């Protein structure tokens, strides 16, 4: 039962990583202020998503270390996506 909760939490972190990646790629590729509604949604969401860019890698690293590096491959994939996202944001 405990392993199932860990797996579900790992999948939630992975999906969160994909959502944050998709948000920033879309925000950088399209003109969000072309449509007023999309611009409003972007302005509401950009700060929480920016915080997630830096909080998710720390959280994932802490989980991997707390599980004594025997974490599932899902966490390592999520960490790779998060590092890629941080690099995209810093090199932009």
Domain ranges of the chain: 2-91
- Neighbouring residues of 7: CB distance < 8 A, sequence distance ≥ 6: 72, 74
Q: What are the CB-based long-range contacts (under 8 Å, 24+) for 47-52?
A: 49/20, 49/23, 49/24, 52/16, 52/20
Interacting residues of 83 by C-beta distance below 8 A, sequence separation 6+: 57
Specify the pLDDT at position 88. 84
| Residue 92 · residue 25 · CB < 8 Å | no
- Return the structure tokens found at 63: 């989980």
Would you state the pLDDT for residue 11? Answer: 92
pLDDT, tens digit (0-9, with 9 covering 90-100), for 12-71: 999 999 999 999 999 989 998 999 999 999 999 999 999 999 899 999 999 888 888 776
């Amino acid at each position: 039962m405990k392993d199932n909760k860990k797996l579900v939490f790992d999948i939630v972190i992975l999906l969160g990583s994909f959502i944050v990646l998709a948000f920033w790629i879309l925000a950088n590729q399209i003109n969000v202020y072309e449509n007023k509604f999309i611009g409003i949604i972007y302005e509401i969401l950009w700060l929480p998503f920016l915080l997630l860019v830096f909080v998710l890698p720390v959280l994932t690293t802490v989980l991997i270390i707390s599980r004594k590096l025997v974490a599932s491959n899902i966490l390592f994939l999520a960490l790779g996506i998060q590092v890629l996202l941080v690099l995209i944001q810093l090199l932009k």
